[in-house]
Amino acid sequence: MEFRLLGAVSVVTEVGELPLGPAKRRSLLAALLLRPNHPVPVEALTDALWDQMPPPRARSVIQGHVSRLRSLLTEAGAGMYGVELVTQGAAYVLRMPESLLDAHRFEELVALARGQRVVGDAVAMYQEALALWQGPALTGAYRSAPLQAAAQALEELRLTAVELLAGAYTQVGEYARAASLLRAEAAAQPLRESLSAALIRTLQRAGRRSEALDWFHRTRQLLAEELGVGPGRELADAYAVVLRGDGDPAAPVAATAPAPPDPQAAPAPAHPGTADLLPRMPRGFHGRADELTALSRAAAGEAPVCLVTGPAGVGKTALVVHWAHRNRDRFPGGLLYADLRGFSDTREVEPAEVMRDFLLALGVAPRRIPESASGASALFRSLAADRQLLVVLDNAPGSAQVQELLPGGARCVTVVTSRHRLPALIASDAARPVPVDVLGPEDSAALLAAVLGEERVRAEAGAARRLAELCGGLPLALRVAAARLTDQPEWSLSTLSGELSDESRRLALLDVEDTGVRAALRLTVRRLPADAAHHFAHLGRHPGTHVDRYAAAALAATDPATAEAALDRLAAAHLVTRTAPDRWTLHDLVRLYARGLDADPDTLPRALDHAVATALAAADAAEPGDESCFPLPADFRAPPEIRRFAARDEAMAWYEAERDGLTLAAAAADAAGLHSRTWRLVLGLWPQIVWRVRDGWTPLLGTALEAARADGDLRAQSRILALLGWVLTEEGRVPEALAHLEAAPVLAARAGDRSAQATALINLSLAQAALGSPQEAVEECADAALLAHDAGDPYTERLALYHLTCHQLACGAWESALETVAAAQALDDLADASAAGRVLLVAAAGEALLGMGDEAAGTARLREAAGAAEACGFDDGAVRALGALLRVTTGAELATLQRRHDKALARLQLRS
């Protein structure tokens, strides 16, 4: 998914551009995209959508456009990309990864290009950045004053990039390319003197002096006619260069804008007498190129406040201090630093104490420092007003402490670090967030190498990757692991990786003295309100990788609304991460820490019972009318509330998203000896197993079978054996399948479960048919239909009749097959048949009619079945119906049918 401002305002997905509709809606989207992840008040949106006098119902119109835009994004699957349009008070926020926005990528590429030491690399980046432009910025949006100003600002950035690219071309002697680029832009922007000056200098370097002089005179005349002014200094200087004949055509020309300082170069010394409270440069710092670039971008502008946030131990302080040292020459007015100790065992630092230290560092005599906090703040702001000052406020516990320490000078930059997101600081002071996440595998290995030495890490590259994985990419954990290896040189990286693989010892091994992951997390948790801390402690027992508000409520024995509020608070403290609108995850080390806080023996059983109940609800929605696949156990703990599913598609999407979670829950139940939950969790997956039968279910079903045997439940054993036998049959392992399928109906009969006995006989018939015994299969299915009828189970009876039809077709019993189809269709209302089930019966009727020689009626049924199957996305049915049609179709239609068949088959194979 890509959001575009550099050209027509649009949203482009894998399947094409979203139909955004009228200009007002595009204008609203543009206004939100110009401030991604920031609240945009309704008043600002009103200004963007109307000039001067908005209509009386402007707010309602905006709400309507927001609602439609939200629907479009939801339908396009925006949540999978981390995109969400939310209401925040009297404002709207478009939450999104900024990398999805072309304007963000453009600015990032230009910033990276300016930092390149190799000119060829810079050229490629400038070209890539300018290629993102598809026309004038914000095309298609309403040309209100705010949006026009934004478009002009973006155009200014584009023109600056053009000048930089032209300068890079001249550096490598490509004057013709530089001149061509500049000429086109100067012709389009004839009053932009910097473009004309750059073109004149480039033409002179290229030896085209007459053209350079001609362009100057044209520009001078236009300035006089249009603006009544003469050439500015830059244009006049370029003209003087041409007149003097300066500039060797063979010599490279510097880019029009100076490159920033080399980030790897040694920092410039502090200005003599300048305040400098920065801690020493962090040792072993590596990577973080994206974060450093983001911090530099955030620090641009007038009096910015940058908010660097992330979980405990992720390296926020190291990042900021490293950046500050590398950029110290940008702040001749001084570099101030204070640790507010918001997450330490000692007391928080009062703002008045910090203010006193700052004033002393700025040269204020102790006796001249005002005693009152307000007086000290006023003096600090007055001193900062004319200085180019950097203020670093580290480990801020909240927004209030920070707000009292902001310098406010137009040329000052304030960088705040916190484990909390501090939304109040964003709202009050437009703080620009710079999130910091864990390190990737390469940077993790580089951090280890910085401490242990490259040779040691290179010698055990695989163990180093495993070590980084066990540390979850958390810099603090990696440094502690490296410290252990340094302290015990006889240990190999493989040895420590093996030790850390034991979850019960991992956190202990990642502590040294009073430093480590547990200590850092303890200080974060200590600041949580009681309700959030209560939920956090129970989250560690969740067996899956993700949790929603319903699962969190079940774990903590609360309700979903309370759980969601707690999860939001935990996300603000970076203890959980929201990955979708109702989906949170924990870092592995955070999960282990939370698990150690939970002493409630009922937490895991509550989580398992919640999963069981939700799986039953999904099965009811996915296969309406079918009997419950199992009864609830006597000691079942009913969850406070579970997710409800409005339709089959919603239920199947949940199965797809939660398959791994349910598998992990079954494994956790099995490990805890909770056998009655183990097999129920696996059987709860049966609609997805049926839908994706060739998806490697055998080991999981084997676990369920062992659990059902340990639980002594004959009915469960029968159901699992029947399902396992069918899966093995579909996998082509028919001899193995028969052993299970022959035992399944016997166990069901002993349990007195006629429906389970009928299901087992149906699956047994499929194995018999696969072995080439269709007559035996007919008999088994006929018995299954009678058993289901006697049990009052129309769903299973209908299923038995369908498979009986298939076996009769295989035997060439066309009339019997047609009669059986009619009997099955008569049960449609009783069995609440799905669209897929109806498709299969119509297709079977078509095949029977063809067998009887009635080609017209048979092909009509098959066409009906194929169309219905394609309409509801039932690829199995489409393949069957279209395959039968292909066998009797000739002429021009054959190619069309073949394409439809092949597309359905390809989708089916991809899903399987």
For the record, the structure tokens of 450 come out as 């910085």
Per-residue model confidence as pLDDT tens digits over 138-174: 999 988 888 988 998 898 899 999 999 998 998 888 8
Could you say which of 576, 600, 624 is where a domain stops? 600
Contacts of 614 by beta carbon, 8 Å cutoff, 6+ apart: 550, 642, 643, 654, 658
Q: Would residue 194 count as lying in a domain? A: no
| Distance separating alpha carbons of residues 221 and 336, to the nearest angstrom | 51
Pair 353, 488 in one domain? no
CA distance 219 to 223: 6
Reply yes or no on whether the pLDDT at 803 is more than 90.
Answer: yes
Confidence of residue 337 (pLDDT cuts 50, 70, 90): very high
User: Tokens 């429906």 sit at which residue?
Assistant: 755
Lowest mean pLDDT among 72-86, 256-270, 877-891: 256-270
pLDDT mean over 546-553: 94
- Domain containing 906 equals 834-911
Beta strand pairing call for 305-309 and 432-435? parallel
Rounded Cα distance, 163 and 166, in Å:
5
pLDDT digits (tens, 9 = 90+) for 176-204: 888 888 888 888 888 888 888 999 888 88
Over 50: is that where the pLDDT of 259 sits?
no
Q: In this structure, what are the phi and psi dihedrals at residue 522, rounded to the nearest 5 degrees?
A: -60, -40
Q: Are residues 331 and 295 in the same domain?
A: yes
- Enumerate the H helices of 335-372 as residue ranges: 351-361
Q: At what angle do helices 441-452 and 461-470 cross, to 10 degrees?
A: 110
Is there a domain that residue 37 lies in? no
What count of residues does the chain have? Answer: 912
Q: How many domains does the chain have?
A: 4
Q: How confident is the model at residue 272 (pLDDT cuts 50, 70, 90)?
A: very low
Candidate from 200-214, 830-844, 885-899 with smallest mean pLDDT: 830-844
pLDDT at 343: 81
The Cα–Cα gap between 652 and 642 comes to 16
DSSP state of 8: B
Alpha carbon distance 231, 191 (integer Å): 10
548 and 461 housed in the same domain: no
Strands, sheet with 91-95, edge to edge from the N-terminal-most edge strand:
40-41, 91-95, 84-88
CA dihedral 449, 450, 456, 460 (to 10 degrees): -10
Are residue 451 and residue 379 in the same domain, yes or no?
Answer: no
* 298 and 427 both lie in a single domain: yes
- Is the pLDDT assigned to residue 850 strictly greater than 90? yes
CA distances, 334 to each of 241, 266, 415 (Å): 39, 18, 14
Domain stop point among 381, 408, 435: 435
Q: Residue 115: pLDDT band by 50, 70, 90 thresholds?
A: confident
- Contact of 548 with 582, CB cutoff 8 Å: yes
**Mean per-residue pLDDT, 350-364:** 86
Contacts of residue 420, defined as CB under 8 A and 6 or more positions apart, other chains included, come to 309, 396, 397, 398, 572, 573, 574
Measure the CA–CA gap between 45 and 28, rounded to whole angstroms: 6
Give 668-702 pLDDT, tens digit per residue. 999 999 999 999 999 999 888 888 888 889 999 99
Around 491, how many Cα atoms within 13 Å sit in the side-chain half-sphere? Answer: 19
Query: Tell me, what CATH number does 357's domain have?
Result: 3.40.50.300
571 vs 584: CA distance, rounded Å = 8
311 and 430 within one domain = yes
d(CA 43, CA 64): 15
pLDDT tens column, 125-137: 899 999 999 989 9
pTM: 0.60
Residue 330 located in a structural domain:
yes
In a domain, 848, yes or no: yes
In contact, 8 and 139? CB cutoff 8 Å: yes
Structure confidence at residue 211 (pLDDT): 84
Sequence-distant contacts of 498-507: CB under 8 A, at least 24 apart: 500/467, 500/470, 500/471, 501/470, 503/592, 506/470, 506/589, 506/592, 507/589, 507/592, 507/593, 507/596
Q: What's 594's domain CATH number?
A: 1.10.10.10
- Comparing CA positions, the residue from 812, 551, 798 lying closest to residue 662 is 551
Q: Is residue 633 part of a domain?
A: no
Can you name the residues that pair with 2 across neighbouring β-strands? 12
Rounded CA Rg of the chain: 35
Cβ atoms < 10 Å from Cβ of 341: 16
Same domain, 883 and 856: yes
In a domain, 377, yes or no: yes
> What stretches of 852-892 show up as alpha helix (H) in DSSP?
855-872, 875-886
Nearest to 645 by CA among 683, 687, 593: 687
Pairing of strands 389-394, 334-339: parallel
Pair 415, 382 in one domain: yes
Answer yes or no: is pLDDT of 220 > 50.
yes
Question: Strands 511-512 and 515-516, how do they pair?
Answer: antiparallel
Buried b (16+ CB within 10 A) or exposed e, 403-412: ebbbbebebb
Show Cβ contacts of residue 69 under 8 Å, excluding neighbours closer than 6 positions.
20, 25, 28, 29, 85
Per-residue pLDDT reduced to its tens digit, 512-545: 766 788 888 888 888 889 999 999 999 999 998 8
Q: At what angle do helices 549-556 and 603-622 cross, to 10 degrees?
A: 140
Task: Name the percent of the chain in helix, strand, coil, to the closest 5.
Answer: 60, 5, 30
- Is the pLDDT at 405 greater than 70? The verdict is yes
Closest by CA position to 648, among listed 615, 624, 622: 622
DSSP 681-716: HHHTTHHHHHHTTTSS-HHHHHHHHHHHHHHT-HHH
The helix-helix angle for 209-226 and 233-244 (nearest 10°) equals: 150
Would you say residue 248 has pLDDT above 50?
no
Q: Cβ neighbours of residue 254 under 8 Å, at least 6 residues apart? A: 167, 171
Same-domain status, 427 and 450: no
Report the candidate in 873, 872, 865, 856 with the shortest Cα–Cα distance to residue 897: 865
Taking CA 140 as the corner, what is the angle to CA 137 and CA 143, rounded to the nearest 5 degrees? 75
DSSP 477-542: HHHHHHHHHHH-TTS-HHHHHHHHT-HHHHHHHTEETTEEHHHHHHHHHHTS-HHHHHHHHHHTT-
- Taking only the tens place, the pLDDT of each residue in 611-663 is 999 999 999 888 876 666 788 999 999 998 999 999 888 999 999 889 999 99
Residue 303 shares a structural domain with residue 349: yes
Of 400, 394, 311, nearest to 585 by C-alpha is 311
Q: Give the end of a domain, one of 600, 629, 645.
A: 600
**Are 430 and 294 part of one and the same domain?**
yes
Q: Are residues 513 and 548 part of one domain? A: no
**Angle at the Cα of 236 (from 235 to 237), degrees rounded to 5?**
90
Mean pLDDT of the chain: 87
Q: Token digits for 560?
A: 């979903």
- Amino acid present at 391: V
Q: Is residue 396 assigned to a domain? A: yes
Query: Does position 265 have pLDDT exceeding 80, yes or no?
Result: no
Residue 144 lies in a domain: no
CA dist 144 → 52, 60, 90, 147, 167 (Å): 9, 19, 21, 5, 34
Alpha helices in 626-685 (DSSP H): 648-671, 675-683
**Mean per-residue pLDDT, 55-61:** 88
- Report how far residue 101's alpha carbon sits from residue 33's, in angstroms, rounded to the nearest whole number: 8
Q: How far apart are the first and last CA of the chain?
A: 26
Taking residues 426-431, report their average pLDDT.
90
Amino acid 682: pLDDT: 95
Q: Are 648 and 626 in contact (CB under 8 A)?
A: no
| CA nearest neighbour of 665 among 618, 605, 621, 712 | 605
